[in-house]
Structure 1
């Protein structure tokens, strides 16, 4: 079928559905919900069989939902209604939640139901629940709904499901405001978790109004007045609660031109007066049966200059250990998304910080590529984008969790050229033709496509909760296979042969030469795109790469013009 996505942005759920439906042979096009006229025009241009709204912040125009089936994905169980469904579920301590696929009608979140799923709530931030439980449930429900439509079925009423309609207004800051004197640690964490990603919890630190993000329980810290800042660890600041303490990893000062950054960077002067204590370990290493597991979990998968340098130091330590295999395990939500664009935007010179950050990424990628004494596996259990994809591909093998979405391209960031040795790694693993296809596509990619193109070597058929344990067993088995030494010998031979044909230093110099023009050249596209991304500037149009109906319209218009 021809399916039009109408969405506020092309977020993780929208991308997962784009991939899953495309793999099933459906023709998908996307239109950002900018205004009613644009949405109506998109329907006229594409003439879809159905419309799917995976992530929408306002009602679909009546003229659209009256003319064809419109499926609205609501992140709540049947009967739930309102724009902050998941926020309320976390704040209220729900033990079970769900996703409902509704048919759009005049009442918001009140139409008949095509499909629904329920899931057990996990103790996790909103953004993590959305990327895992909500996305998995929504994907299953949308696929079921479309199957039912193709079979000529009809939706069922809320009443027939026994659902009691409940409407919850959008959550306001006063509903999750922290009372440091009264709230225990669990309550503080739940309030921040309900707002993680966006919009954060409004609070006060060091006399400034701020929004709090990325909170974790803190252990073994000194008691103090609730709300007081008592310690620092990496980028986080610990604040006392009435029965313990919490680490606040990221904050954003209130105001129109402020950025979410590590707490110790926003309050650098104040943090220097706090004692450094053991706290959030973003990088961890452990060993089992000749395998080293290097685990890194960076907020939103962003890897700034210092972060890359810390991971490189940990890599050198891991390589020095008496193991035969190293597993690079990124976070379950994001394996890596490459450069830390927020840190770059906040720098005195974004161009200089971009240059420092990409060189630090290249140092790390090069160290991985040059490691010939061990088999290296990238175990990608979370989504990855841009340089994060090619950092993973620097390993000998990439094992992808089923359901992971990759965005192996840079160009949407103002035609950024990219580095991390992608001009070596893509042809090396995918072949020249596939390398060109991947670099030019600018589209999200699922695990099956990544495997077919050489961006991955194996799909791990495990849910996100079982992924780490499954990878552990696979890695130990590989490290102890009888031919491990012959594999290592072949790896060293191949690396030497590649180096003789063209040194890694040449690939790096060529890539950085192109990037220097992005960072310091006359074309400001990268800096504009990065600024808009960091400050979440709404798009004025849908990119042609996903708005295929507009690409077709432009092509037809060009042909008519040429003919005339």
Structure 2
């Protein structure tokens, strides 16, 4: 089928659906929801069999849904209606929730149901549930709906055999007053639940030391307590605030009235206002732990979870130090396991945008990531594995490829390109790693396509070596079994020796430093050159400036090279 994805943005769910539909042989194009006239034009150009809306904040034009089947992916159970479905599910502490695929009609969220899927809720943020459980359920339900359409079955019946139950109800927009925190009365669980319901958007509006800010990235502060509402300590980017029965770490804040109205480390936003608070080490049990090391059966596991996968200069330096410490342990394999939602998305664009000199901050950041990538590539004492539980993008993809093996969870989506960020050239030794694993022709294709890819395609192209496990727990269990088998294998020494011989041959042919210098020369021009494209694209991305058009790389119906193909196919 020919399927047009209509979305507010090309977010994680839209990317996953794009990947799944393409893998099943459908012709897929994307139009961002910019204006009704643009949507109508896109439908006229592409002539889709079905329009799918994975992520919309407003209604599809009547001129579209009256003339083409439009399927809405709603993150709520059957019968649930309204713009804050997942927010309310978290606040109400629902045990199970779901996703419904319904047909667009004049009344919002009230059309015939084509498919639905349920999932178990877990104590997590809205953004984490959206990326994992909602995305999995939405993909399953949409594929079910499309199978019904292809089979000529139509929507599910409202009554009689096979009728769909509608236990949900209309819920209004969740307001700040619906989830406001009362620090003098609320316990830790309540505070975490309320922040989770708005993380990552819009955040919980709160008042700290005379400033109105939005709270994000909250975690229990084990072992801390104090006067409810008081600030107790700092740890890395986070500040601890007391509840009635303990405390929470708040990792990031957003100050809408400040010059940088996007998420930044809480300690950065509050700055000198925190002078005098005790500082707790991030690697202690009581601290805000972004990096965790575990060891078992000859394998060291390095978990790192940075907000939205952004790895700033400090994060890279700390992770490199943790990696070097892991190499000093009496183990044989090191697994870089990332976080549950993201492995890495490369540079911390928010921190760069808020820097006094974004060019200088970008330069320090890319060099810090390169230092980490080089340390992984040059490791001669261990076998290394990058195990991706969550998605990776830009430099994070190539940082993972620096390991000897890359293992992906089946549902992971990779975005292995830089060019959408103002034609950024990229580093992390991609000019060495990508041709080495994918070949020159495939490497060129990957870097020019600017498209997301699923685990199966990534393995077929050499960006990864294996894919397995749909759930996070299943994936990690298999990772542990495989890694420990590597460590105990009788040919471990032979594998290590072969790896080191291969690295030595590559170094003799062209030193790593040469690749790095060539890449950084191009990056220096991106940061400091006359073309401001990178700085404009980064600022627009961080500040969420709406796009004025859909990139032609995903809006294939607007690619003039394909215009004849669309006309002939219709």
Same fold (TM over 0.5): yes
1:121-145 CA-partner distances (Å, limit 9, x unpaired):
1100000000111000000000010
1:253 aligns with 2:261: no
Of 218, 223, 238, which aligns to 2:226?
Answer: 223
* Matched residue SS, 1:544: coil
Asked if residue 150 in structure 1 is aligned to residue 150 in structure 2, the reply is yes
Deviations 1:53-107 (A, max 9, x none): 0001111111111111110000000000001100010011111110000011111
Give me the whole-angstrom Cα distance separating, in 1, the residues matched to 2:80 and 2:470: 30
Q: What is the match of residue 86 of structure 1?
A: 86
**Correspondence 1:397-546 to 2 at 5 A:** 397-546=405-554
Q: Displacement of 1:214 after TM fit? A: 0.4
- 2:419 is paired with a residue whose SS is coil
Residues 271-296 of structure 1: per-residue CA shift (max 9 Å, x gap)? 23210123111111121111111111
Provide the TM-score with structure 1 as the length reference.
0.97
> Any idea what SS the aligned residue of 1:81 has?
coil
* Equivalent position to 1:193, from 180, 196, 208: 196
Q: Please give the alpha-carbon distance, in whole angstroms, between the structure 1 residues aligned to 2:422 and 2:539.
A: 10
The equivalences for 1:118-517 within 5 A come to 118-157=118-157, 160-164=163-167, 166-224=169-227, 226-255=228-257, 257=259, 258-277=261-280, 278-517=286-525
**Cα displacement (A) at 1:451:** 0.3
Q: Mean Cα displacement is larger for which, 62-71 or 547-556? A: 547-556
Shift of 1:218: 1.1
Cα pair 1:259 1:346 within 8 Å, conserved = no
The answer (yes or no) to whether the contact 2:81–2:171 under 8 Å persists in 1 is yes
What 5-or-longer segments of structure 1 have no aligned partner? 558-564
Query: Which whole-Å CA distance do the structure 1 matches of 2:327 and 2:104 have between them?
Result: 56
Q: CA deviation at 1:515?
A: 0.4
Judge which range, 521-530 or 278-287, deviates more. 278-287
Taking the aligned partners of 1:33 and 1:465, their CA distance within structure 2 comes to 36
* Cα distance in 2 for residues equivalent to 1:536 and 1:5: 20
Contact 2:557-2:563 at 8 Å conserved across structures: no
What residue number does 2:48 align with? 48
How far, CA to CA, are the matches of 1:384 and 1:199 in structure 2?
23
Shift of 1:162: 2.7
Deviation at 1:30, TM superposition (A): 0.3
Q: CA deviation at 1:462?
A: 3.7
Instruction: Tell me if the contact between 2:77 and 2:167 (Cα under 8 Å) persists in the aligned partners.
Output: no
Structure 1 contact 462–470 (Cα < 8 Å) conserved:
no
Q: Deviations over 1:145-182 (max 9, x none)?
A: 00110000010255632315511111111111111111
- Output the CA distance in 1 between the equivalents of 2:560 and 2:146: 25
Could you tell me how far apart the structure 2 residues matched to 1:169 and 1:156 are? 26
CA distance in 2, matches of 1:279, 1:384: 26
Tell me the residue number matched to 2:568: none
8 Å contact 1:291–1:323 — kept in the other structure?
Answer: yes
Partner SS for 2:87: helix
Q: Secondary structure at the match of 1:54?
A: strand
Tell me if structure 1 keeps the 8 A contact 2:77–2:168.
Answer: no
1:231-256 per-residue CA deviation (whole Å, 9 max, x = no partner) reads 11111000001111111010011327
User: Structure 2: which 5+ residue stretches go unaligned?
Assistant: 281-285, 566-570
> What's the CA shift string for 1:19-46, capped at 9, x where partnerless?
0010000000000011110000000000
Number of residues of Structure 1 aligned to a counterpart in Structure 2? 557
Q: Matches of 2:164 and 2:44 in 1, distance apart? A: 35
**1:184 CA drift (Å):** 1.1
Runs (4 or more) in structure 1 with deviation over 3 Å come to 157-160, 552-557
Q: In the aligned structure 1, how far is the partner of 2:234 from the partner of 2:168?
A: 46
**What is the rounded CA distance, in whole Å, between the counterparts of 2:238 and 2:420 in structure 1?**
31
Q: 2:337 touches 2:387 (CA, 8 Å); kept in 1?
A: yes
Q: In structure 1, what is the Cα distance between the partners aligned to 2:525 and 2:321? A: 29
Question: Which stretch of structure 1 is more off in the superposition, 273-282 or 116-125?
Answer: 273-282
Distance (whole Å) between structure 2 residues aligned to residue 414 and residue 554 of structure 1: 24
8 A contact 1:78–1:158 mirrored in 2: no
Residue in structure 2 matched with residue 561 of structure 1 by the alignment: none
